[in-house]
Amino acid sequence: GAGVSQSPSNKVTEKGKDVELRCDPISGHTALYWYRQSLGQGLEFLIYFQGNSAPDKSGLPSDRFSAERTGGSVSTLTIQRTQQEDSAVYLCASRRGGGATDTQYFGPGTRLTVL
């Protein structure tokens, strides 16, 4: 079946511009996560959506970052007034339910480069 998809695969932007990154989770998955991986680092948690519950935004690095999940499916991560330190690979993952042992499945990521 279809996996997690993300678009665009690559995004180059100028410092100060806003960007939107899209994630299409696996159909029927109720949980959705955003992570980012900076060069030489592990994956850093950003935000987590579970069903209709309020999202866990505890990983967002600043108020320039926000995310929405419409209709419990597609999610958009928005970065306003991008900075060079925002350059990273942004990864989305989805999970079938809230069970602790449910596996997270990752999309291919969006590589963001801020010039």
> Interface with other proteins by CB under 8 A: which residues?
4, 31, 33, 35, 40-45, 48, 50, 56, 59, 91, 93, 98, 100-101, 103-109
Contact indicator for 13, 78 with CB cutoff of 8 Å? no
* Spatial separation of the C-alpha atoms in residues 55 and 8, rounded to whole Å: 23
Looking up tokens 């339910």 gives 97
Q: Between 72 and 108, name the residue whose CB sits nearer to other proteins.
A: 108
Shortest Cβ 99–other proteins spacing (Å): 8
Shortest Cβ 1–other proteins spacing (Å): 15
Q: Between 18 and 53, name the residue whose CB sits nearer to other proteins.
A: 53
Q: Between 1 and 14, name the residue whose CB sits nearer to other proteins.
A: 1
Q: What is the dihedral of CA 9, 58, 100, 110, to 10 degrees?
A: 0
Count of beta carbons in the 10 Å neighbourhood of residue 36: 24
Contact indicator for 32, 94 with CB cutoff of 8 Å? yes
Shortest Cβ 95–other proteins spacing (Å): 9
Shortest Cβ 15–other proteins spacing (Å): 25
Q: Between 30 and 82, name the residue whose CB sits nearer to other proteins.
A: 30
Count of beta carbons in the 10 Å neighbourhood of residue 98: 11
